[in-house]
Structure 1
């Protein structure tokens, strides 16, 4: 089912009857609701309240956590407001919105900084309530009014007057709800770039705000790992380029794997794709790395999936899928019936907008040379374009002849010599812009940069920096939420 936009009409009394026509038009914006869930919803009640600033200063909006209702505005500054007094306007309405439908209502959105609009939705006879905007930057669960069973993530994008509603997933086990038969490349998968770089380090080296376990518990399922290789040791230190990831002591591949194994033991429905690459100042080779990994870490296959083909979800639950960004030792070429060892990412397109891996298993957006702050907008545009490409294919269960490639979309970028282009600064602009795109335009025919048609509306494999900072899992939850489209076919 496609995300179908339509105009929902309802006669409502216009507010501000004494305003001049131009001022009235300027103050009016019709609320758009995107139901990005598998359940029908109906907007039943609209209440309008006077609002007052929740704090004395203006703050940027943009948070979603595991407790789910967020207000987003990636392109401007807005003021949080809280309700003051009783509702000054209360209207019963009826706007039914089917699964993955978009409805433009006749409901005027809140006057920014001055009003709060309370929306009451109904689903399967139960009612849910959300205020737009909320009184806090923090996300909250959409209020259940009558013991309602479901939980919904609501995201308000002020720039588009759009309320996007996602089904709330348990981020620690979100793959549990998906069928075993789906190829892994059909999923919308959140990932992190230089995943374990959450420690005290140079600002240009640190890419993440929280630990590996926190990332896993909050839905991250792709890890980008860089290791230093020495020919006389099987210890693999974690690095970012030539630098260690921690200034307070070495961090090692084995210790990180123990954390991942513990998570998978506790959540056997999940799988993790791990990209492993050789970096650092060590004198070891790719071939030596491949031998160390196989002999010391990959074991009997219980923990790792190393077959060189894109797997189905059911084949890899509880395992790590190896994506190797290194060449193999020749001794591994005979593995898997002569097909080799691991998903082959050894021929990686450099600094690319849409590059094909040498093995053909993935198309990659990895433009990382963000050498001036204005290039951040170029990065955003390239990431949006790759999201649109990822949404176009149709998976095997929809009639395709073979598994689609992965669409790997790096949101990261950096420049060592420009503090405005260090990872945290770039993420502060790129991440909310992608949240906005996923809420407003993703999965809708012709709404992407190239106007492409939509297939399964996958977001692909989206690789991020600085998620989870101060509990901000906005982007991860939005990516995971797009897997709901697959569940419509189950």
Structure 2
């Protein structure tokens, strides 16, 4: 099947040469011995993840060769000049076959006149090698061998990817990575832990929507403790919302071009109510760093929100807060959407949500994947329509998360292991582009960043490239 190349950048891509190389012999493991059984702290830190994902092997894998190393010293047995142009946010059948198993296809190409090459090996995320000075251009290639497909994505610096976008862009027009139960990276009950890395690592790798659950706690009930449903998020003691917010403030101080949507919801023990929670959020969180918050009851433009946390509230507010901003309220009002919804619209039509969460059996995971894909395409259509009509689009919110505590196969990590690759593939290959718009809305995941895998978030952020040429 001929290779399809999809250009998910704002530049014209031109393939100039194709070559074929023999693949190197596959690396084999080595027996575990006293000599190589080292780095005990690292092994201990990753033991839970190891036993969750695979059976324990009797070998340690060798390091895979890099794309550069794979064919650096090999001799091409076939090479052809080419001239295949792929326009921004479009795809082209290159007419080039991947070739037989055991053969590496190398593509040399130009982007904005700068030269690169990439060797198509079985790893999903590849880094094209610059051939000379390429300026600030950074690219990632996402390869799916079974579908004979390669997507090239602009690899913006994920810590400040908003810096390239103009101030007037509506927040709803952005493609934005998010995390569900964002602070839950600690050792915890299996249905409670939803993330592999901490808040700072998430923000540095492109996340701009944090889903956080808390309850009033501590002396006089003035502290806000992080929870997931009725459970604390860590087995080694309470974790506080104040610490998470400090990570956000520190990140924004380092990256003032960015903003972070902070979704707050009250969960946990009985004995408190939303109105009390709303007063605590204002007094103990927002007012302590007032200059860092955007709390108007509107979805802002990027320029209005840079350097700030945007309050996205999933709780009711008391009467005093309803009177704020000329009686319009306080924060983006996401008080409620229909439970277990595949598609619901709230906030006077300004928020559109997919949050189908009751995956009670493993067979329901495919249903969830279908709803996520439908909402991604709904986002493109809605953002494109808003652009044609000269209005701000709704904020499309798409949860990839789901769980069922009572079945091991539907714990968050098990569901993420199936949903994340499926949606990564969809974004790379099938996600529709309409009139230059590729908007995904907010894509909210579990367990991104595990083992350094940020491919989906690179794709989501890359979909903003169309905004650079509008």
Which of 142, 167, 171 matches 1:155?
142
Rounded Cα–Cα distance in structure 2 between residues aligned with 1:345 and 1:462: 16
> Is 2:435 aligned against 1:437?
no
Give the equivalent residue in structure 1 for 2:170. Answer: 183
Rounded Cα–Cα distance in structure 1 between residues aligned with 2:435 and 2:378: 9
Rounded Cα–Cα distance in structure 1 between residues aligned with 2:8 and 2:90: 7
Rounded Cα–Cα distance in structure 2 between residues aligned with 1:404 and 1:338: 24
CA apart distance, 1:349: 1.6
Give a deviation string over 1:308-347, Cα, whole Å, max 9, x none.
1110000000000111000001111110011011100112
- Aligned positions of 1:67-106 closer than 5 A: 82-83=70-71, 85-106=74-95
Stretches of structure 2 lacking an aligned partner (at least 5 in a row): 30-63
Give the equivalent residue in structure 1 for 2:335. Answer: 346
> Is 2:467 aligned against 1:482?
no
Give the equivalent residue in structure 2 for 1:65. Answer: none
Contact residue 275 and residue 324 of structure 1 kept, 8 A: yes
Contact residue 177 and residue 209 of structure 2 kept, 8 A: yes
- Aligned positions of 1:115-194 closer than 5 A: 115-133=103-121, 137=123, 139-149=125-135, 150-194=137-181
> Is 2:290 aligned against 1:307?
no
Give the equivalent residue in structure 2 for 1:268. Answer: 256
CA apart distance, 1:85: 3.8
Give the TM-score normalised by the residue count of structure 1. Answer: 0.84
Give a deviation string over 1:131-158, Cα, whole Å, max 9, x none.
0016xx4845311112222221111122
Give the secondary-structure state (helix, strand or coil) at the position aligned to 1:374.
helix
CA apart distance, 1:454: 6.0
| Further displaced range: 354-363 or 268-277 | 354-363
Give a deviation string over 1:389-430, Cα, whole Å, max 9, x none.
001124699343432111110000100000111111111110
Contact residue 182 and residue 395 of structure 1 kept, 8 A: no
Contact residue 347 and residue 358 of structure 1 kept, 8 A: no
Contact residue 39 and residue 123 of structure 1 kept, 8 A: yes
Rounded Cα–Cα distance in structure 1 between residues aligned with 2:302 and 2:384: 13
Give a deviation string over 1:104-155, Cα, whole Å, max 9, x none.
011011434x111011002343310000016xx4845311112222221111
Stretches of structure 1 lacking an aligned partner (at least 5 in a row): 1-28, 58-79, 445-452
| Further displaced range: 263-272 or 281-290 | 281-290
Give a deviation string over 1:280-326, Cα, whole Å, max 9, x none.
11411100000011112111741111111110000000000111000
Q: Against the structure 1 CA distance between its residues 413 and 53, is the aligned structure 2 distance closer, same or farther, given a 3 Å change threshold?
A: farther
Which of 25, 30, 34 matches 2:6?
34
Which of 438, 452, 470 matches 2:451?
470
Give a deviation string over 1:155-180, Cα, whole Å, max 9, x none.
11223211101111000000000010
Give the secondary-structure state (helix, strand or coil) at the position aligned to 1:378.
helix
Give the equivalent residue in structure 2 for 1:46. Answer: 18
Contact residue 188 and residue 458 of structure 1 kept, 8 A: yes
Q: Against the structure 1 CA distance between its residues 400 and 419, is the aligned structure 2 distance closer, same or farther, given a 3 Å change threshold?
A: same
Rounded Cα–Cα distance in structure 2 between residues aligned with 1:99 and 1:109: 23
| Further displaced range: 116-125 or 315-324 | 116-125
CA apart distance, 1:358: 5.0
Give a deviation string over 1:211-260, Cα, whole Å, max 9, x none.
00000000000000000125941101000000000001110001111111
How many positions carry a matched residue from both structures? 428
> Is 2:438 aligned against 1:457?
yes
Give the equivalent residue in structure 2 for 1:55. Answer: 27
Contact residue 394 and residue 400 of structure 1 kept, 8 A: no
Give the TM-score normalised by the residue count of structure 2. Answer: 0.87
Instruction: Give the CA RMSD over aligned residues.
Output: 1.9
Give the equivalent residue in structure 2 for 1:406. Answer: 395
Rounded Cα–Cα distance in structure 1 between residues aligned with 2:212 and 2:195: 12
Rounded Cα–Cα distance in structure 2 between residues aligned with 1:479 and 1:358: 24
Rounded Cα–Cα distance in structure 2 between residues aligned with 1:315 and 1:436: 34
Which of 210, 213, 216 matches 2:203?
216
Which of 372, 378, 397 matches 1:389?
378
| Further displaced range: 274-283 or 298-307 | 298-307
